[in-house]
Amino acid sequence: MEQVVLYTARDTLIKDKGVSMLVPTAERNIYINRSLALMEKVQRVADSLSVHHFNGLKIHVIGIDTLAGNGVIAKIDLMETTAPGTSADEYGFDSWYDYFQGSYGGQHTAISLRETMLQPDYQGEWIDGIAFYYQGEPIGIWDHFNLSGIQHR
């Protein structure tokens, strides 16, 4: 088994700058079977992140490609279980729309997704970058966060 990390974002005072910022923070360790193919490992991390952070919203690894100049890139699709912009459960978030609301929410969600999927401190074989999709389309720049293009480790 290999240990990987689920990240969250914490509001942290940066003393030398005198500002408070959201910074990636390791929240929980999970373990994946080292004999799995890379795509299966990445999907297991996505599944755990979905369950622990995003109320089971689907995070699907579409594929992994090697791109010249970018390395091994995973394509990650954020898929809705309800109509975008709606919340079927008044006690929990049921749409990616809910998680990306507001500057704080959008940045928090983006950090959790990016850092967890990239595994910056992982020493084993892993992807070099990620490209996010929303409902099967490349994700653009939204109001409160930026996950467009390829995000590198």
pLDDT at 46: 98
| Residue 91 contacts residue 146 (beta carbons within 8 Å) | no
CA angle 125, 74, 48 (to 5 degrees): 80
Structure tokens that stand for 73 in this block? 């890139």
User: pLDDT tens-digit profile of 91-103?
Assistant: 456 788 888 888 8
Amino acid at 19: V
Where are the strands (E) in 57-128, listed by range?
58-67, 71-79
pLDDT at 91: 45
Q: What are phi and psi of 34, to 5 degrees?
A: -70, -15
Task: Find the mean pLDDT for residues 123-136.
Answer: 94
- Domain extents in the chain: 2-152
| Residue 127 contacts residue 74 (beta carbons within 8 Å) | yes
